[in-house]
Structure 1
């Protein structure tokens, strides 16, 4: 732990902490302003914490807050994340979870609407934006994010689709315990949250890039200086119109890396022809930065 902690630049501490604060605020707004007033159950561990909060109140008369359940449920998953994903990622996720629990506890429940559909849509959108923002900046909301990230590395599926799959269980539990209308509203919130997460967390979206250039060496040098990506070279490609010889370069990048690629191409060969195919599926090894 000491090795990676001391190697991390000090300004990165402040950045990570600020990202944690933003997520904690968004998650607290989602739960306290939309989910709780609309009786909507969130995705992931937050949804399980809400269910346990309702059960403890209805069955035993104990008002154990959602924030406390959130902390308790995350403890075993921190251990899993420490060994399965990464130390730095788990450490800062722990800070994020503590801040989220604190903000949920101190932020008052402000009722903007009791319409469950409105609460589900806007609550899901705010929660999904928070989760995607956290993941995009190397953090996590904790809980099932540890499991979905580990599975994404093995299966290649998106974070949002995996979250939707796991959260079907939460939706079913809400339906059995509190009524199927709450399951349907919670399903809307979980679906919206998953889609917004995928829209914000662009590092998982892969794009195939084809470059036709007269200056392949310069393009390869600039791209690989900026990105850790392999490039396939096809020499002596012939154009059908002028029958001139050019070089075709093939690579795959993430949507998050696309602006970096554009800048590298602009400086290397602004006249190159570049074709980009969105959301391609990859079979085989594709390098992804460690969290």
Structure 2
């Protein structure tokens, strides 16, 4: 059964890698390239290398080939410091993206730079965030972003925006400064879409009022790896029955598991979940 589960898990991750590859290729060939918009991260850097080699060198390096080459150091970094399985699926995602950029031919629906910047950012940002949500790295700044997020608490979308400021400058020199501003809009949209889709980094504060604290605690800790603070001596205002208040913090990604735990242990429990701006202290996160 364990082998079957692992095979299913690997197949699922490979499917998400393919979905990401298709989405970044659609964003590149339908919106970014026709609109002269630079993407974020290493994809944008690959576009920049393509522009430079096509203008100033006798041999042009395609965006798809450049994307794979510049990610090789990231494969090594991930292999040494994150994990072998993580590295394999990162390699697969980048390889599939490079292939799909060649397979999916450009289909310019519009050359309007504003439309291309916004819709390219939406498609790529959602694909990247969805991949990260399912524990798949898309290479490049994703790896650096994960490390920086753990150290500083910055969201991956914010890290992408900060690191990609030089892409905006490159777009200005390559296509003119109006296109730099369009690329900036695309980068902002891309970063916000990553934050929306990558729910693992969205942290929530949970307060639970229950008359069955032990059952609720056991159920939550069976579903989630989360600490819980217990406040005894609470009282219900209507029936004046004894209650216990439980406090914990989770990621938005874990919301379904929390709801399952409460449904199993105390269906009459009262719970409120609010977005947490910042968490100080240890907050467990999976390594990948």
Q: Paired residue for 1:223, among 216, 220, 230? A: 220
Contact 1:209 1:274 (8 Å CA) reproduced: yes
Q: Does 1:145 align with 2:136?
A: no
Cα distance between partner residues in 1 of 2:162 and 2:137:
18
Residues 241-282 of structure 1: CA deviation (Å, up to 9, x unaligned): 655431110001111111111121122112112111113411
Q: Which region of structure 1 is more displaced relative to structure 2, 233-242 or 116-125?
A: 233-242
Cα distance between partner residues in 1 of 2:276 and 2:239:
32
Cα distance between partner residues in 2 of 1:232 and 1:82:
37
Residues 176-234 of structure 1: CA deviation (Å, up to 9, x unaligned): 34321121111111111111111111011111000111110111111111111111111
Q: Partner residue of 1:98? A: 95
Q: Paired residue for 2:120, among 113, 120, 123? A: 123
Aligned residues: 286
Cα distance between partner residues in 1 of 2:275 and 2:61:
46
Q: Partner residue of 1:37? A: 34
Q: Partner residue of 1:258? A: 255
Cα distance between partner residues in 2 of 1:8 and 1:175:
49
SS of match in other structure, 2:183: helix
Q: Partner residue of 1:3? A: none
Q: Does 1:278 align with 2:262?
A: no
Cα distance between partner residues in 2 of 1:20 and 1:56:
29
Q: Does 1:187 align with 2:184?
A: yes
Cα distance between partner residues in 2 of 1:18 and 1:266:
31
Superposed CA RMSD in Å reads 1.6
Q: What are structure 2's unaligned runs of at least 5 residues?
A: none
Q: Does 1:75 align with 2:72?
A: yes
Contact 1:85 1:150 (8 Å CA) reproduced: no
Q: Partner residue of 2:14? A: 17
Contact 2:36 2:175 (8 Å CA) reproduced: no
Q: Paired residue for 2:56, among 55, 59, 65? A: 59
Q: Which region of structure 1 is more displaced relative to structure 2, 163-172 or 8-17?
A: 8-17
Cα distance between partner residues in 1 of 2:208 and 2:108:
53
